[in-house]
Amino acid sequence: GQNIDQPTEMTATEGAIVQINCTYQTSGFNGLFWYQQHAGEAPTFLSYNVLDGLEEKGRFSSFLSRSKGYSYLLLKELQMKDSASYLCAAMDSNYQLIWGAGTKLIIKP
Amino acid sequence: NAGVTQTPKFRVLKTGQSMTLLCAQDMNHEYMYWYRQDPGMGLRLIHYSVGEGTTAKGEVPDGYNVSRLKKQNFLLGLESAAPSQTSVYFCASEARREGNEQFFGPGTRLTVL
């Protein structure tokens, strides 16, 4: 079956660094996406990885290891506005997204 | 450029009632999706469309119907609402090229009593 696993909740301190992990099992693989979702709002796109390695985009970076079925999202210099849920999604062989339940990130001052 | 819009934003139905959720996008995207989001679960795909006049079933299609008569609109219908359909419904659209993102509407919060 197809499955995405990510932690339910994480807590971090303002100004610190946090890494949110995601493991996936899909029928075929066409890329790994990260979305951010603030409470009561729609998901918004953060990053896409299809090749192994690290993609950096400002304070946010995303890493992919296809052989391990593993990705992480790295958030640096945390700000209070980064408090949100972070959704991991893998694209399967039919180009459909399989979504994780999301990781709720709580930032403390 | 409004992006993806959804109407209504909130709705309360009684069991057995019907309703239609409307999604509209102004980005000329070919692909459109309807998801539901429930606490503790990932987004689940209900139905999707790869172009005007075409629709297909997703992971959880039972109890829902869809239509894509115009490229910019994707309608989700509930013929006879059930309490299990209480959820937040998101519409999304996508241009479908490698690495392309899905753009989401603001969501519709539906409660079925």
From B39, B87, B36, B41, select the one nearest B66 (Cα to Cα): B36
pLDDT per residue as tens digits for the range A31-62:
999 999 999 999 999 999 999 999 999 999 99
Specify the pLDDT at position A30. 92
* Contact between chains at B41 and A50 (C-beta distance less than 8 A): no
Cα distance from A70 to chain B (closest Cα, Å)? Answer: 18
* Contact between chains at A96 and B58 (C-beta distance less than 8 A): yes
Query: Could you tell me if A69 lies within 8 Å of chain B, comparing CB atoms?
Result: no
Specify the pLDDT at position B99. 65
**Contact criterion met (CB below 8 Å) for A103 and A7:** yes
User: Of the candidates B42, B45, B103, which has its C-beta nearest A96's C-beta?
Assistant: B45
User: Of the candidates A42, A96, A100, which has its C-beta nearest B42's C-beta?
Assistant: A100
**Contact criterion met (CB below 8 Å) for B91 and B34:** yes
B84 Rama sector, left if φ>0, alpha if ψ -120 to 50, beta otherwise: alpha
Specify the pLDDT at position A32. 96
Going residue by residue through chain B (113 aa), what tens digit of pLDDT does each one get? 789 999 999 999 999 999 999 999 999 999 999 999 999 888 999 999 999 999 999 999 999 999 999 999 999 999 999 999 999 999 999 987 766 799 999 999 999 99
Cα distance from A81 to chain B (closest Cα, Å)? Answer: 19
| Chain A residues with CB-CB distance to B105 below 8 A | 42
Q: Can you say whether the dihedral through the CA atoms of B46, B3, A93, A55 is positive or negative?
A: negative
pLDDT per residue as tens digits for the range A51-109:
999 999 999 999 999 999 999 999 999 999 999 999 999 999 988 899 999 999 999 99
Query: Could you tell me if A94 lies within 8 Å of chain B, comparing CB atoms?
Result: no
Name the strands in the sheet holding B64-67, side by side, starting at the edge strand that comes first in the sequence.
B4-7, B19-25, B73-78, B64-67
